[in-house]
Amino acid sequence: MDSLAGFFGLKAEDTTEAELHQKLTEAKTQVELAEAAKTEGLAAAAKEVEGLKADVARLTAELTAATETVTTATAEVETLKADAVKLESDLTAANSALATKVKEANTLAGEVARLTAGAKPKGVEAVDTDDQLSKVPAGNGQMVKVKAFDEILN
C-alpha cells in the first residue's frame, strides 16, 4: 500500500484505502495515457516550430537588412573610388601646371638676374651713345634707341 501511495504522489502514513481506491478508479488506461502524451508532445512540438519560424523570419529580415547595407556600402565605395580617380587626375594636372609656372618663374628670375648684372635686354641692338644721353646720371635702367624700342613693342 505504501508503494501505491508513493506511485500516486501521496504520503503513505496519511493515505487511506478509500483515497487509494479513488485514485485507482480515476487513473487512465495505458492507451489514454499514450494519447495524452502524444497530444502534449505534438502541442509542445508545434509551439517549438512556431518559435523556430519566428526566429527564421527575424533572421531573414536581419539578413536582408545586412545585404542592403552591404549593397549601399559597395555603391558608396565605387563612388569614392571614382572621386579618388578624378582627384588624382586633378592633382596631376595641378602639378603639371605648377611645374610650368615654376619653370616660367625660374626663366624670369634668370632674366632679371641677367638684366640686373647689366646685360642688354633681349631684342635690343645697341645702347644709345648720343653725347647728350651720356650726361644722364647712371641708374638701374638703360637708354635705348627709339627704333630698337619700337621693335621691342612690335
Q: What is the mean pLDDT of residues 21-25?
A: 81
pLDDT of 129 over the 80 cut: no
86 compared with 29, residue with greater pLDDT: 86
Same-domain pairing of 82 and 59: yes
Q: Does the predicted model carry a pTM greater than 0.75?
A: no
pLDDT of 150 over the 90 cut: no
**Residue 58 lies in domain:** 2-119
The grid cell for 8 is 500516486
Q: How far apart are CA 25 and CA 151, in angstroms?
A: 137
pLDDT of 24 over the 70 cut: yes
Number of domains in the chain: 2
Rg of the chain over Cα atoms, rounded to whole angstroms, equals: 54
Hey, what amino acid is at 84?
A: A
Same-domain pairing of 56 and 34: yes
Same-domain pairing of 84 and 132: no
